[in-house]
């Protein structure tokens, strides 16, 4: 595993999910302001860490639960 530090170089080799920008993913993870559509998309994004897919599924389940 490689760490990225301030000023380091990051090279993009592929964009496997162009319909869900990485910048938006970070905003959702850091601020938790995802729409239902974004959570549904995150739950099935190929290559997204399983913990974040599971978190998205959990948030969708909570949103569908009665108050």
Please indicate, yes or no, if residue 26 is contained in any of the structural domains. yes
Q: Residue 6: phi, psi to the nearest 5?
A: -55, 130
Residue 28 lies in a domain: yes
Indicate whether 43 belongs to any domain: yes
Per-residue pLDDT of the chain (67 residues; tens, 9 = 90+): 678 889 988 888 888 888 898 889 889 888 888 899 999 999 999 889 999 999 999 989 987 655 5
Cα 49 from Cα 17, distance rounded (Å): 13
In a domain, 9, yes or no: no
Q: Is residue 59 part of a domain?
A: yes
Question: Has residue 34 been placed in a domain?
Answer: yes
Domain presence at residue 45 = yes
Residue 16: predicted pLDDT? 85
Number of domains in the chain: 1
What is the domain extent for residue 40?
A: 22-64
d(CA 57, CA 38): 11
């Amino acid at each position: 595993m490689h760490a990225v530090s301030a000023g380091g170089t990051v090279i993009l080799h592929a964009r496997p999910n162009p319909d869900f920008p990485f910048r938006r993913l970070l905003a959702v993870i850091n601020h938790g302001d995802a729409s239902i559509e974004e959570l549904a998309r995150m739950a099935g994004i190929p290559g997204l860490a399983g913990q974040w897919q599971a978190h998205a599924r959990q948030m969708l389940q909570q949103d569908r639960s009665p108050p």
